[in-house]
Amino acid sequence: MLGAVAGAAGAMAASEAVKWITQKRVAGGGRGLSMGTLFSLHLLYMDTHAIQVARNPHCPVCGDRPHVRV
């Protein structure tokens, strides 16, 4: 069961990465997920949500003055 969950989440993440890299629009005229979007996947109910999140300007990684390097 856990392998199927990881596989489904990994396939969706890979699909979003390909859309981001190629900057293509998805079928139906919509757009793929963009920066600042949290994608939630609930496989028990086959439910998904895209939630907009604001960038924190004080974040040590992605804020205005980052000091943590990845």
pLDDT digits (tens, 9 = 90+) for 36-61: 788 888 888 888 888 888 888 998 88
Query: Average model confidence (pLDDT) for the chain?
Result: 78
Half-sphere exposure of 68 (CA within 13 A, CB side): 7
The SS3 of residue 10 is helix
Q: Is residue 43 part of a domain?
A: yes
Q: Is residue 62 part of a domain?
A: no
Which structural domain range is residue 20 located in? 2-52
Q: Is residue 28 part of a domain?
A: yes
Helices in the chain by DSSP H: which ranges?
2-22
Closest CA to 12 of 4, 23, 1, 22: 4
How many helices and strands in the chain, by DSSP H and E? 1, 2
Using a cut of 0.85, tell me whether the model's pTM lies above it: no
Q: Is residue 66 part of a domain?
A: no
CA dist 46 and 41 (Å) reads: 8
